[in-house]
Chain A
């Protein structure tokens, strides 16, 4: 990704080294407090979530046996879509992050887990856990910044191919899992010829295997179970559920780093970065989505993207709990806490994609320091917990 000069100064620059260290210690303290407290409650949470996914999956597959009747089709497809969303977001993504490795349960472990998506878990863990989470929002190093196919940051040099980005943005939304799988191959390295060919062949075989298993399950085995008269309807239902899951995860994930509020960084800005600097970059480079507890679970708690990026290996169920402490640090140090309702976050991402398809563009105005909302502005969530 060709880079240009920084168009906006990021707030890290105004802190002294000592202040950054102090902020780092405060963020470390939140981490340590949670990890010292992990126990049965947390284990029960993830086991319940996993059981819930399996029950929903069974239920939806049972309903879809009668998929040739319209109401059964609609209900079964919706339930299957939700099951697939849970499996990908709150369970798969987070287990593969190693958030539950502390339990020492070999069956809920990042080393053994596989998920119902096109990405083989090994390749994804490298491109996501290592590359994206380490180099978050560093232009030229974080390959998730526009996924090497989109211009999502005005610093990226324009190219005529980006005129098509509003179109392939839509296709990506529907087939997001395939986009991620191909992205994990490191398309740029393949194009430049720096990718190891044996490695590429191995990864392609991995994707091929996953593709075959998904086809075998969703487009052969379960449709066949619905009988000759239900085959097509079940196939369509499963396809739709996969699209629902893809669009949802696309929407949540694009809201993670691309809303107007977030900063990107040049490699020079992040040279000799300390632990405190790392936390600050994660805080400024990610954005949350406000929502109800159910929304947070369905988003895999990636609606707490800020907390997730500060602590990628922390059990996701704890993000909501530490959010007030993160906000408190933001308030005391005059830092922004990026968040907003889904419509606002998603809207600003889509606007950026449209605008940056064309040459030029400036970084959006950034929010100032976090200010706690006044009491009368606090909206009660749909379901209190």
Chain B
């Protein structure tokens, strides 16, 4: 009987050949579509309305959202470092990176809550309010999930020994972190910048 012996092949991998890596891509494709549809909603409603944002909407204050954006983008650098460290199997560096990003995530959520409390309209005020609150709400939901995921992995890595196959979980969380950051960029523009740049009325 001719055979193909695979006993020499590694068991599990933390790189992009892993099944979970591909599953993670699939999930981001789905959620990316969802974010794209939220953007489309904004653009469509902007197209069918003569005054956009409505005259009652105050000019948003850019300070907190901009701090938040810069912080989140910079945290991706830290995540990238943790990501690379996970690929090399350096657990200490992974722990440091995740600890920093969890702190950034929490700070981000606090500032996000403050910014939203000052926005000056509700989701029930008008369609503009509906789409802005839904977009921000969905992204906040994703930030909570990403921060929670990072926190959980951090705690796990502190109380248990990190096996080789679990390094993949850290890497997938890192990729998800980039995704949650990148998907916010267009929303930063429409929620905070566009009212300043162009106002239909």
| Interaction A to B | no
Write the residues of chain B forming the contact surface with A, with a CB cutoff of 8 angstroms: none
